[in-house]
Chains A and B, each alone.
Chain A
Amino acid sequence: MSQIWLVPAFPLLGFLLNGFLGKRFGTRFVTFVGPLAIALSFAQSLVLFFQMLKAEGNVLHEHLYTWISSGNFEAGINFQVDQLSGLYLLVITGVGFLIHVYSVGYMKGESGYYRFFAYLNLFVFFMLILVLGDSFLLMFVGWEGVGLCSYLLIGYYFEKDSAAEAAKKAFLFNRIGDFGVLSAVMLIFLAFGSIEFATINAEAATQLEYGGALVTAITLLLFLGATGKSAQIPLYVWLPDAMEGPTPVSALIHAATMVTAGLYMVARLSHLFVLAPFTMNVIAVVGTATALLAATIAVTQTDIKRVLAYSTVSQLGYMFLAMGVGAFGAGVFHVMTHAFFKALLFLGSGSVILAVHHEQDMRKMGALKNKLPITYMTMLLGTFAISGIPFFSGFFSKDEILWKAYSSPLGSPWLWGVGFLTAGLTAFYMFRMIYLTFHGESRVDSHTAEHVRESPFSMTIPLMILAALAVTGGFFGVPHVFHVIPNGMENYFQGFFAEIPSGHGSVSMEWTLMAFSVAFALLAWFFASRLYHSGFDLAAGLRSKWETLYQLSLNKWYVDELYNTLIIQPGRLFSTHVLWRLFDQNVIDRAVNTTADVARMVGNSIRPLQNGLTQNYALIFTLGTFLIIWFVT
């Protein structure tokens, strides 16, 4: 009997212990409990993974509790481990564990130490619930929960205004997405009578017509939710601001796990999505556009974490591109490799930030490679991975996506072209980051420069492990054309995702496109080194020539300001003038006050009737008697 419940139980226990007892028992208690909870979770995930591989149909079930049972609707707390959630489990708990260990070093000395680990454990708990649930109900619980933890952790430094604002922004945009998910769930229930994934996937083809309005509506709404959670156009603007949180948070939540929740949902319901070709096109286009947009912004950013944030948005765009052309396996593969190298990059940047005393601006860094050797090496490896340098993990996954974008029946050369361009940009800005941070002249503050030294082992060991994964993780899904190692990813997901008609395109085309991407990436590396190897000076000349573009890019294409004028200000005006002044004050208040006034006036007019004079009362008695006798007789 598989004990699936153990996997989320350990982090939950960690949260409770850290949250309630952490303050009392101090740092060492929290340091022990926090990472240990995730480690135990990881161990159990491994066990379950292997159990699942041997199980019939590659799925493990566990029924815990029937939550809702009303009429003919029943929803229970059931866990299931199949290929998709098994992979996610390993990634979440594995990378999560490494980040917990890293945080021990990074958050050392912070005042809310126990609070951090409590929230982090809680986050892992919710994320696990999200991927373990077998129906929308439990998935949505996890969905909301990770949104909550994201809010809590982004606003960890809650005394800072900017952090509090960023947390609110994240939560609000998530909420807009949630509206999409909920609407979709209701429609799904109407169509299927059930919200369990197994039922939906099995009956999708029979219940819904291909390309019909209902399935398009459902899938579009689900995608809206995904854009909120996974930071795509139009709801991506919260992710860069979310960098206000501590760096481990950015690594775990906004690189490796929470932002992949949207992708998980799309992958989980692949059978539903393939029935709506319009939505698939939308997903692919939006993904590609987001990837390009974010990449163009990243090339000018000076905050090291912002560069990585936009890079995350961009890479998520790639994953959605994969989903949109039907390459679900490739998309999930990229999720995994991205988790490795992005977490690595974020943690590395955290190491740098810590070394230069919480300075995040690259204009104040430089020439750090000798002082921070391990950080430099690992970040370099991560950059190779993300840029698609051959045989690193990112190369295999990104290339698979680009090939599928070109060759899938739902893809097109245009999609490939934009993806190709973005890949070049990615390599460019990532190497730019490396050069500005580690090479050239030191622009570090003089008195900070004295204290720059490598981070402690608790931080560097996770970096090294992640670097190893970033280098080797790609070999899990080597594309067929290499003919040497079987494509583990494809075998693993055999029969899980919905099938789409096989694409066109020859093997030689695949080699050609691959060669192009590699060449372009290397070219971009070359350009970046030419421009930035000695700091910002050379680039400044280039900047003045393209000033407008530069400003547009630096200011994020003014998207936030656009939202402000189009949506927020009108909303505020409407609320103030119509809802408040017109309706609340004039209508509601007036109604209430008038009722009170009427009561008072009536009372006032009747009151003088009682004047204390007995004979007046007697007179009125007599009047009454007269009237009664009159009516009776």
Chain B
Amino acid sequence: MIPIEHILLLSAALFTIGVLGVMLRRNVIVIFMSIELMLNAVNLSFVTFSRGMDSMTGVIFIFFIIVVAAAEAVVGLSIILSIFRTRKTLNIDEFNILKW
């Protein structure tokens, strides 16, 4: 009853905001949060399609996405912790040794 296109538009909008967050914010953890936002936008589009196509595949897939997102967040944050110990900062511009 909710037109699918609207929900998909919402999903696209959230995704775009996430992309902007990755490119514009300086704090590493906020960048991570933007990535989570992007993942959620994708989740929304999966559910929508699943509903629209009378299929459960989308829902199952969301299940997996959430698990993977969790795992990724855990590992990412521990890496940031590690780097923070040396760099004492969370500004992503400081993490720039891997260059020419």
B92–A614 CB distance below 8 A: yes
Residue A484 CB within 8 A of the other chain: no
A608–B100 CB distance below 8 A: yes
Known contacts A619-B23, A622-B19: does B92 contact A611 (CB below 8 Å)? no
Query: In the complex, which of the residues B23, B93, B99 contacts A610, with contact meaning CB atoms closer than 8 Å?
Result: B99
Query: In the complex, which of the residues B92, B97, B98, B100 contacts A615, with contact meaning CB atoms closer than 8 Å?
Result: B92
Interface residues of B in 50-100 (CB under 8 A from A): 92-93, 95-100
Residue A507 CB within 8 A of the other chain: no
A618–B96 CB distance below 8 A: no
Give, as a whole number of angstroms, the nearest-CB distance from B9 to chain A: 16
Residue A190 CB within 8 A of the other chain: no
Give, as a whole number of angstroms, the nearest-CB distance from A611 to chain B: 5
Residue A607 CB within 8 A of the other chain: yes
Interface residues of A in 590-625 (CB under 8 A from B): 607-608, 610-615, 618-619, 622
Query: In the complex, which of the residues A613, A618, A619, A622 contacts B93, with contact meaning CB atoms closer than 8 Å?
Result: A613
CB contacts (< 8 Å) of A622 on chain B: these are 19, 23
A610–B22 CB distance below 8 A: no
Query: In the complex, which of the residues B19, B22, B96 contacts A613, with contact meaning CB atoms closer than 8 Å?
Result: B96
**Closest A residue to B95 using CB positions:** A614
With the chains together, A612 CA to B100 CA distance in Å? 8
With the chains together, A614 CA to B19 CA distance in Å? 13
CB contacts (< 8 Å) of A612 on chain B: these are 95-99
Residue from B19, B22, B92, B100 with most neighbouring chain A CB atoms (10 Å): B100
B23–A615 CB distance below 8 A: yes
With the chains together, A357 CA to B92 CA distance in Å? 95
Give, as a whole number of angstroms, the nearest-CB distance from A614 to chain B: 5
With the chains together, A622 CA to B22 CA distance in Å? 10
**Closest A residue to B99 using CB positions:** A612
Residue from A608, A611, A612, A622 with most neighbouring chain B CB atoms (10 Å): A612
A611–B22 CB distance below 8 A: no
**Closest A residue to B22 using CB positions:** A618
B100–A607 CB distance below 8 A: yes
CB contacts (< 8 Å) of B19 on chain A: these are 622
Give, as a whole number of angstroms, the nearest-CB distance from B79 to chain A: 13
A615–B22 CB distance below 8 A: yes
With the chains together, A618 CA to B25 CA distance in Å? 12
Q: Size of chain A's interface in residues, with CB distance under 8 A? A: 11
B 14-45 to A, binary, CB cutoff 8 A, 1 in contact else 0: 00000100111000000000000000000000
**Closest A residue to B19 using CB positions:** A622
Known contacts A619-B23, A622-B19, A622-B23: does B95 contact A611 (CB below 8 Å)? no
CB contacts (< 8 Å) of B23 on chain A: these are 615, 618-619, 622
CB contacts (< 8 Å) of B92 on chain A: these are 613-615
CB contacts (< 8 Å) of B95 on chain A: these are 612, 614
Give, as a whole number of angstroms, the nearest-CB distance from B29 to chain A: 14
CB contacts (< 8 Å) of B24 on chain A: these are 615
**Closest A residue to B98 using CB positions:** A612
CB contacts (< 8 Å) of A614 on chain B: these are 92, 95-96
Give, as a whole number of angstroms, the nearest-CB distance from A332 to chain B: 82
With the chains together, A612 CA to B93 CA distance in Å? 8
CB contacts (< 8 Å) of A610 on chain B: these are 99-100
With the chains together, A618 CA to B26 CA distance in Å? 13
Give, as a whole number of angstroms, the nearest-CB distance from A208 to chain B: 74
With the chains together, A491 CA to B81 CA distance in Å? 112
CB contacts (< 8 Å) of A607 on chain B: these are 100
Give, as a whole number of angstroms, the nearest-CB distance from B45 to chain A: 15
Give, as a whole number of angstroms, the nearest-CB distance from B52 to chain A: 20
Give, as a whole number of angstroms, the nearest-CB distance from A629 to chain B: 11
Give, as a whole number of angstroms, the nearest-CB distance from B13 to chain A: 16
With the chains together, A607 CA to B99 CA distance in Å? 9
Residue from B95, B98, B99 with most neighbouring chain A CB atoms (10 Å): B99
Give, as a whole number of angstroms, the nearest-CB distance from A200 to chain B: 72
Give, as a whole number of angstroms, the nearest-CB distance from A17 to chain B: 68
Residue from A611, A614, A618 with most neighbouring chain B CB atoms (10 Å): A614
CB contacts (< 8 Å) of B96 on chain A: these are 611-614
CB contacts (< 8 Å) of B98 on chain A: these are 612
With the chains together, A608 CA to B22 CA distance in Å? 22
Residue from B23, B24, B98 with most neighbouring chain A CB atoms (10 Å): B23
Give, as a whole number of angstroms, the nearest-CB distance from B33 to chain A: 15
Give, as a whole number of angstroms, the nearest-CB distance from A599 to chain B: 16
Give, as a whole number of angstroms, the nearest-CB distance from B39 to chain A: 16
Give, as a whole number of angstroms, the nearest-CB distance from A191 to chain B: 69
Give, as a whole number of angstroms, the nearest-CB distance from B16 to chain A: 10
**Closest A residue to B26 using CB positions:** A615
Give, as a whole number of angstroms, the nearest-CB distance from A237 to chain B: 66
**Closest A residue to B25 using CB positions:** A615
**Closest B residue to A613 using CB positions:** B96
Interface residues of A in 472-490 (CB under 8 A from B): none
With the chains together, A301 CA to B19 CA distance in Å? 102
CB contacts (< 8 Å) of A615 on chain B: these are 22-24, 92-93
With the chains together, A622 CA to B16 CA distance in Å? 10
**Closest A residue to B28 using CB positions:** A614
CB contacts (< 8 Å) of B93 on chain A: these are 613, 615
Interface residues of A in 123-177 (CB under 8 A from B): none
With the chains together, A619 CA to B23 CA distance in Å? 6
Question: What 15 new A-B contacts, CB under 8 Å, besides A612-B96, A612-B98, A618-B22?
Answer: A610-B99, A611-B96, A611-B100, A612-B97, A613-B92, A613-B93, A613-B96, A614-B92, A614-B95, A615-B22, A615-B23, A615-B24, A615-B93, A622-B19, A622-B23
Contact sample, A vs B, 25 pairs, CB 8 Å cutoff: A607-B100, A608-B100, A610-B99, A610-B100, A611-B96, A611-B99, A611-B100, A612-B95, A612-B96, A612-B98, A612-B99, A613-B93, A614-B92, A614-B95, A614-B96, A615-B22, A615-B23, A615-B24, A615-B92, A615-B93, A618-B22, A618-B23, A619-B23, A622-B19, A622-B23
Top 3 nearest A-B pairs (CB, nearest first) are: A612-B96, A612-B99, A607-B100
